[in-house]
Amino acid sequence: MGRYVGGRVLIKRWPQLDGMRFEDVLLSFPDAIPCGVKVASEGGKININSHDEYILKEGDEMLVIAEDDDTYSPSPLPEVGI
C-alpha cells in the first residue's frame, strides 16, 4: 500500500498576524500554504486567495494547506537589507 502524501485544509487563528497584509502572511508559513482568510467581520466568510493588500484583523483566521495541525506555525518575516 502507498503512503499518504498530501495536505489537509486547516483553519486556525494566529493573533500575531493581526495587522499584517495577506501578501506578507504568504511568506510567514514555511511549512504550509496560506490560501485564504476566514473574515471575522463578515460573519466568518471565507475568502479564497485573498487580495494581497487585505490586512488581517482581530478574529480573522488563516486557511492553509498543511500536513497536519501541529506541523506548521507562522515565522517572523525575513529581514531584507538594501
Residue 36 lies in a domain: yes
Give the Cα separation of 71 and 23 in Å (integer).
22
Q: Does residue 3 form part of some domain?
A: no
pTM: 0.82
In CATH, what number is assigned to the domain containing residue 53?
3.30.70.1450
Asked whether residue 14 is domain-assigned, the answer is: yes
> Residue 1's pLDDT is what?
47
Give a yes or no: residue 42 inside a domain: yes
38 domain residue, yes or no: yes
Q: By percentage, how much of the chain surpasses pLDDT 70? A: 89
Sort strands 8-12 and 61-66 into parallel, antiparallel or unpaired.
antiparallel
What residues make up the domain containing 35? 8-66
Confidence category of residue 42, pLDDT binned at 50, 70, 90:
very high
- Of 6-15, 29-38, 52-61, 66-75, which range is least confident? 66-75
15 domain-assigned: yes
Question: Is residue 19 domain-resident?
Answer: yes
